[in-house]
Amino acid sequence: MSSKIRRKPRIGVFKFASCDGCQLSLLDAEDELLGVARAIDIAYFPEASRAMLKGPYDIGLVEGSITTYHDAQRIQEVRRKCKTLITIGACATAGGIQALRNWKDVDEFIRVVYATPKYINTLKLSAPIAEHVPVDFELRGCPINKYQLIELIKATSAGRKPNVPTYSVCMECKRKGNVCIAVAQGIACLGPVTQAGCDALCPSYDRGCYGCYGPMESPNTASLSNQFHILGRDNAEITRAFRGFNAWAWQFRKAGEESERT
Amino acid sequence: MNKQQTRTIKVETLARVEGEGALYVKLKGDQVQDVKLKIYEPPRFFEAGTSPNFPILWRASAEFVRSHIR
Ligand code: SF4
Ligand code: SF4
Ligand code: SF4
């Protein structure tokens, strides 16, 4: 055994435009959390602890998208303080559900939603973190899977590649022995173009996947759109199918816009 | 406690008040002089989805989800 004691990695958790669901996955990892807590040093996690220790941090977990000028500045500072920067969830990796406004006039939204629009400070687009700073790893999902998060933290601490597959939800669905609901029931399912990680949650309950883990590594969206046509979906419905939590991920964005044009 | 004593309470991070926010309270003796609540959580405009002005994208996502549950 090496006589050198390895220092526990210091972790910071940072929130941008988001719902907190992803960072709470870390707290939700009840049984595993004790083990995780022994292996890491949580230095900054305002949602969980009042101790807010200064950087630098070995691992920065970033939740949420960039939607304000102030946050666009803050993410630069967070990047400088973190050796490894990991984005967690659909908001941080793709702009989130709030990116639906990217196809609309945000000023109109402000007027509809807020009584005093001048108090509201926002950018025109909701953008993923990687559009602002370099990101070392993107963990998908809305919300993320806690087991994938733990695997990612362990792998990063140990300096190895995390075991987070990039194949489609269909792989998990087949592995579970599910009968395909798209084939058997004609339900429009985004499983073939969506990245695995949820253990095919929705199809296991007879619901179509709506793509919350974002595009898989090589999604054939054109073929799936065509299949949706065969199932009797029109172009407007297909556009909407791709406009969910990962609407701004370029593969889904392109697929949605293609159906919109035709 | 001195009746004229002024105290201020500053909480820089409130984790769950419509997202994140900050609170400032100024007291003189036992009288509150000033309270400021700042919500710095960025807006996500979910409410626009309930507005008939924006039926296309916002409602539609939910409709699609409904439409492919049988
Ligand atoms: S990805 Fe989903 S669960 Fe995670 S912060 Fe965004 S909205 Fe919340
Ligand atoms: S139900 Fe959906 S995820 Fe499962 S195999 Fe069929 S298309 Fe793929
Ligand atoms: S099946 Fe699709 S929508 Fe459902 S949890 Fe998995 S990735 Fe998300």
Query: Each residue of A155-164: pLDDT tens digit?
Result: 998 899 999 9
Domains: count for chain A: 2
By Cβ distance, the residue of B13, B47, B67 closest to A113 is: B47
pTM listed for this prediction: 0.90
Residue A138 and residue A47 share a domain: yes
- In chain A, the percentage of residues whose pLDDT exceeds 90 is 69
pLDDT confidence band for A5 (50 / 70 / 90) = low
Interface predicted TM-score of the whole assembly (ipTM), two decimals:
0.72
Residue A5 lies in a domain: no
Residue A224 and residue A102 share a domain: no
- Listed by number, the residues of chain B in 18-37 with a beta carbon closer than 8 Å to a beta carbon of chain A are 19-20
CA A128 – CA A99 distance, rounded (Å): 9
pLDDT confidence band for B58 (50 / 70 / 90) = very low
Identify whether the C-beta of residue A178 lies closer than 8 Å to the C-beta of residue A149. no
Residue A80 and residue A173 share a domain: no
Q: Is the pLDDT of residue A6 over 80?
A: no
Q: B60 contacts in A (CB within 8 Å)?
A: 236, 240, 243
pLDDT in tens, A171-202: 999 999 999 999 999 988 999 999 999 999 99
- Tokens 């941080």 belong to A92
Poorest-confidence range of A13-27, A90-104, A213-227, B2-16?
B2-16
Residue A4 lies in a domain: no
Whether A144 lines ligand 3, by a CB cut-off of 6 Å, is: no
pLDDT confidence band for A145 (50 / 70 / 90) = very high
Q: Does A209 touch chain B (CB under 8 A)?
A: no
3-class secondary-structure state, position A52: strand
Residue A188 and residue A75 share a domain: no
- The residue among A158, A185, A220 that closes a domain is A158
Q: Does A132 touch chain B (CB under 8 A)?
A: no
Domain extent, residue A182, equals 169-261
Average pLDDT in the A248-252 region?
Answer: 97
CA A3 – CA A166 distance, rounded (Å): 38
Whether A86 lines ligand 3, by a CB cut-off of 6 Å, is: no
Residue A163 lies in a domain: no
Strand order in the sheet with A137-139: A41-44, A10-15, A57-63, A82-88, A137-139
Residue A186 and residue A115 share a domain: no
Interface test with A, best of B18, B68, B70 (most A CBs within 10 A): B68
pLDDT in tens, A53-94: 998 999 999 999 999 999 999 999 999 999 999 999 999 999
Q: Test B45 with A210 for CB contact under 8 angstroms.
A: no
By Cβ distance, the residue of A122, A206, A210 closest to B65 is: A210
